[in-house]
Amino acid sequence: MARVLVAVTGGVAAIKVPHLLRLLRAQGHEVRVLASRRALEFVTPLSLAVAAGGEVATEEAWFRPDGRALHIELARWAEVVLVAPATVDALARAALGLADDLLGATLLAGAPRVAWAPAMNEAMWLAPQTQAHAERLKALGHALFGPAYGPLAALGEGEGWGRMLEPEELVERLNAFLTPKDLEGLRLLVSAGPTREYLDPVRFLSNPSSGRMGYAVAEAARDRGAQVFLVSGPTALPDPWGVEVVRVESALEMRRAILDRYPWAEAVVMAAAVADYRPAEVSREKEPKGEAEKVVRLVPNPDILQELGERKEGRVLVGFAMETGEGLERAKEKLRRKNLDLIALNWVNREGVGFASLENEVVLLARDGRVWELPRMRKRQVADRILDAVKEFWKA
């Protein structure tokens, strides 16, 4: 958690900042807020102060009667500055190092890490001057979050590049920005979600996997600097930003997509709940309803992970095992048989964990015999523990 200075400049998206401040505080960040004169034409100091839980730093309050100068104080206090919304003018001034307003002076006075959430008209964003300023800021180590494509605020503008990212996504981006990049350079292939094995064009066999565990691994690895490729079965989850995603349905499609990317990967986390069987015959037409009993003949699907294990060549391989009983011995046997480095064992029938839930209770078994019994925790935390182990094997 960090001390975050949110700097608001004059754009319509400033009305979203109180919500952003609340989300940051709910995540445990400490916040202070700085508002430009123009920002206060869009959002009131009071609504910012209430959401931030403290006074707003404004141009008028820059130099205090007691001699304190806010730009020095804020630059020392902040661990990160998030400028949201960032106008074209604010970007340009920071790129040039101008310091005749409170934000400019704070940035120059030694604010350590800076992230920008641009919000402007598309033409202004794409103007070569703005792009050059954005490049300059990136070269200084600043981060740019967005802008996104979508409806723009100015009348008659329609859609375009220039929308500020939504507060929820800004918080995600900021957390990623603050995460140490200990997996920089790792090329990680992740699978997630269920597969669908079709009987006819509308009926299929599947399972209740939500994809959350695999997506959590993909997102955590991205935040830690890895390049991530996600092969996802059908899920209700949106594509994570900063991750290349391929969507598939059946186990055979998943196998194809994974094998295609396997030569690229240095590590694979196979979190998908791949169906073990598929119907032997798939009807091209929808099967009509009938009175008679029906028998469906199933044939086994290839075990993708086992195939990867047979062609491992120095890669780190992680599997999941979902068991109903104790399952420890069976998981160990799978780890050996599939030639894995790590297997994450979880239980189907425990309340509040596993399929579709936000939490998981996992035992990690490593190929060298080490066992970590993790307490119940959020899937994102489980993902980080798995990645800690991946890192060890990757570096070894």
Q: Which residues bind ligand C5P (CB under 6 A)?
A: 251, 270, 272, 274, 276, 301, 303-305, 319-321, 334
Give whichever of 115 and 321 is closer to ligand C5P, judged by the CB atom.
321
On whether the CB atoms of residues 190 and 267 are closer than 8 A, the answer is no
Amino acid, res. 315:
R
Give whichever of 274 and 389 is closer to ligand C5P, judged by the CB atom.
274
Give whichever of 5 and 331 is closer to ligand C5P, judged by the CB atom.
331
Q: Please, what is the minimum distance in Å from the beta carbon of residue 319 to ligand C5P?
A: 3
Here the tokens at position 128 are 């070569």
- Provide CB contacts within 8 A for 75, sequence distance 6+: 106, 107, 109, 110, 111
Q: Rounded to whole angstroms, how far apart are CA atoms 43 and 23?
A: 17
Give whichever of 31 and 304 is closer to ligand C5P, judged by the CB atom.
304
Q: Please, what is the minimum distance in Å from the beta carbon of residue 372 to ligand C5P?
A: 17
- What b/e sequence results for 210-234 when a residue is b if at least 16 CB atoms lie within 10 Å of its CB, and e otherwise? bbbbbbbbbbbbbbbebbbbbbbbe
Dihedral angle computed from the Cα positions of residues 209, 165, 128 and 131, in that order, rounded to the nearest 10 degrees: -70
Q: Please, what is the minimum distance in Å from the beta carbon of residue 250 to ligand C5P?
A: 11
**207 carries an active-site annotation:** yes
Q: Please, what is the minimum distance in Å from the beta carbon of residue 337 to ligand C5P?
A: 8
Give whichever of 265 and 272 is closer to ligand C5P, judged by the CB atom.
272
> Which of 207, 301, 346, 349 does the annotation list as catalytic?
207
Here the tokens at position 197 are 């094995």
Q: Please, what is the minimum distance in Å from the beta carbon of residue 302 to ligand C5P?
A: 6
If we measure between CA atoms, which residue out of 296, 231, 238, 300 comes closest to residue 262? 231
Here the tokens at position 123 are 């033409």
Q: What are the φ/ψ torsions at residue 322 (nearest 5 degrees)? A: -110, 115
Give whichever of 181 and 337 is closer to ligand C5P, judged by the CB atom.
337
| Angle of CA points 332, 338, 343, to nearest 5° | 45
Give whichever of 2 and 273 is closer to ligand C5P, judged by the CB atom.
273
Q: What are the φ/ψ torsions at residue 337 (nearest 5 degrees)? A: -65, -40
Q: Rounded to whole angstroms, how far apart are CA atoms 232 and 156?
A: 38
Q: Please, what is the minimum distance in Å from the beta carbon of residue 305 to ligand C5P?
A: 3
Q: Rounded to whole angstroms, how far apart are CA atoms 211 and 219?
A: 12
Q: Please, what is the minimum distance in Å from the beta carbon of residue 259 to ligand C5P?
A: 11
| Beta-bridge partner residues of 144 | 116
Query: H or E element: which one contains 117?
Result: strand 114-118
Q: Rounded to whole angstroms, how far apart are CA atoms 196 and 204?
A: 6
Q: Please, what is the minimum distance in Å from the beta carbon of residue 83 to ligand C5P?
A: 42
Here the tokens at position 257 are 């997509």
CB atoms within 10 A of CB 378: 14
Helices 379-395 and 212-223 cross at an angle (nearest 10°) of: 60
Give whichever of 42 and 320 is closer to ligand C5P, judged by the CB atom.
320
Q: Rounded to whole angstroms, how far apart are CA atoms 308 and 191?
A: 13
The catalytic residue positions are 207
